[in-house]
Homo-oligomer: A and B are copies of this chain.
Amino acid sequence: MPHYTPPVKDQQFLLHEIFKISESDVPGYEELDRDFTSAVLEEAGKIASNVLQPLNTVGDTEGCTLENGVVRTPTGFKEAWDEMAAGGWMGLDASTEFGGQGMPYILGTATGELFSSANMAFQMYVGLSHGAASALAVHGSDEQKSTYLPKIYSGEWSGTMNLTEPHCGTDLGLMRTKAEPQDDGSYKVSGQKIWISGGENDLSQNIVHLVLAKIPDGPEGVKGISLFVVPKFIPNEDGTLGERNSLSCGGLEEKMGIHGNSTCVMNYDGATGWLVGDMHKGMRAMFTMMNEARLSVALQGYCQGEVAYQNALAFAQDRLQGRDVTGVKNPDGPADPIIVHPDVRRNLMDQKSITEGGRALVYWGAEMIDRSHRANDEEAEAMVSLLIPVMKGFLTDKGFETTVLAQQTLGGSGFTKEWGLEQFVRDARIAMIYEGTNGIQSLDLVGRKLPQNGGKTVMAFIELVKTFIKENEDNEALKEGFLEPLKAASKDLQAAGMYFMQEGMTNPNNALSGSYDFMHLFGHVCLGLMWARMGKAAQEALDGGAEDKEFYETKIATGRYYMARQLPMTTAHLARIQSGGDTVMALDAANF
């Protein structure tokens, strides 16, 4: 059975020594001192490891069942949901006006990490509900907000997002679900939506579906899409449940992983719904939530990596096979623990350096989202929008890779269900696909984000890296291990950026053929920057005589590993990018 230990110390290091949140000028951060965040994280950690983690295997084994339109979630999920609700975790970072705790998003992200590492399939019910509430909080009418938000934040009701249809996933312009206006101002929604996470479940009393649909005679394509709220039970004015709406779960998807989450086919048969936000502006409503939604998937990537790494590490410290080539380490045992072997180390260090770097990057993203929302900082908004596809695409690819590496640490045991590693691999896989496939993320990056503001934001990112290097150029402790590799990698990023600017206009296929590699190149530079910042902070702590020497030395060593062994990937990505689109597009579609 796998285990999970909340990495609160690592989280605290990021919050207080890298992002120094309690000293920050972001409104709301002033309350987040070390003791406070420690208490919150320890509490969330207990739920994660004591309540959610033990249900992770249960969820995978039992899965969800559909009988007579009712979806049954796995044993224990309902009790866990109620415990999360009672603890106020559903609305931790939601407005106090509607029953939330009013905490900043970065704290919701840090606690969300713990829940997601412990039980990704379960946390999806919470996360999607949170996402639906966020959309209503921004775009809903006052009445919609007061009707739905308190119920979702209290965990009484859950929420879903309905975008995909059988014939259209990425290309939402092809959508067929329609919403016909009624005399009373409501709409009748009809159509079929697929892959609706938590679309039907037995955790909550009501399910608040947010549904994209087209109002007849509206504009063609994506410009004719509107957003609707379509509750399973239509709420009475007093908040009690009224009439059952004409919608139902038509089936559950059988899938590779996240079995504990119900992935539903949802049928809307003239269901009553109400417009959310402006008519035909449904895509815009989606887009304003996209940064948060995609950041939470980026988080899922390194979260599965984290729990997989923890279990791989424990195995490597325990399993005895072979002897250290430089001298026996466990003379009293029949063999040495496999962690002595360099190739096992290489494997573990890849996992560790990616996971901890990924966490730093996601927290930075959360900090920028707070800065943009709470301080109306447009530069932070632009920067996080630029980096979101990198975070989502790169970190979910790398998170999946990490689970595969961790599985490999266990050898044959990694392939068995008994050890649980294979579940992490299967669960992590979805994060590369949903919320916009990683290919789509790379197109968003190169086609939309890179040219935004005339390239100003990407220049600002590169400037940020340069400034860091310049400010620390006299720091001998950082120079060789951190600054030089970061400089080299950021030069590759600049060269790639230049290539896209030159090619983007004249030969779009050249630019688009390199989009995926650019996303990875960019991701490596981001993690390089994060590690350089962490290396610097750790060095400062050591210079300042910090007590926990081993913690900071380990951070520095892990960072140096990343810089030496991961960052050189930028050269290969640059070479792929600069090879252009000719070899990619050479074949006729029929000659593959």
Q: Which residues of A contact B (CB under 8 A)?
A: 164, 167-171, 173-174, 194-195, 253-257, 313, 317, 320-322, 325-326, 334-335, 337, 339-349, 352, 400, 404, 407-408, 411-412, 414-418, 422, 425-426, 429-430, 432-434, 437-439, 442-443, 508-509, 512-513, 515-516, 550, 553-554, 557-558, 560-561, 564-565, 568-569, 571-572, 575-576, 579, 581, 583-589, 591-592
Contact = CB atoms under 8 A, between A and B. Distances in A.
A560 B586 contact: yes
A443 B592 contact: no
Q: Sorted from nearest, which 8 A-B pairs have the closest CB atoms? A: A568-B575, A256-B422, A342-B512, A171-B321, A564-B579, A557-B586, A254-B417, A572-B572
B256 A343 contact: no
20 contacts: A170-B322, A170-B411, A171-B322, A254-B416, A255-B417, A256-B415, A256-B416, A256-B417, A256-B422, A339-B589, A342-B513, A343-B439, A343-B442, A343-B512, A345-B584, A346-B516, A348-B592, A415-B430, A553-B591, A558-B587
B335 A174 contact: yes
Contact of A344 (B439, B508, B554): B439
Nearest to A410: B433
Contacts of A400: 404
Contact of A443 (B255, B343, B422, B575): B343
A30 B416 CA distance: 46
A412 B164 contact: yes
Dominant secondary structure at the A interface: helix
A429 B415 contact: yes
A534 to B, nearest CB: 15
Contact of A434 (B407, B412, B564, B575): B412
B171 A335 contact: yes
A169 B558 CA distance: 29
Contact of A576 (B174, B337, B565): B565
Contacts of A565: 576, 579, 583-584
Given A335-B171, A352-B592, A415 B439 contact: no
B342 A584 contact: yes
B416 A346 contact: no
Contact of A583 (B171, B320, B557): B557
Contacts of A339: 589, 592
A583 B569 contact: no
A170 B335 CA distance: 11
B554 A583 contact: no
B585 A342 contact: yes
Contacts of A569: 572
A483 to B, nearest CB: 16
B592 A326 contact: no
A255 B415 contact: yes
Given A575-B568, A591-B554, A412 B169 contact: yes
A356 B62 CA distance: 40
A343 B513 contact: yes
Residue among A164, A560, A585 facing the most chain B CB atoms (10 A cut-off): A585
A47 to B, nearest CB: 26
A326 B586 CA distance: 14
Contacts of A415: 255-257, 429-430, 433
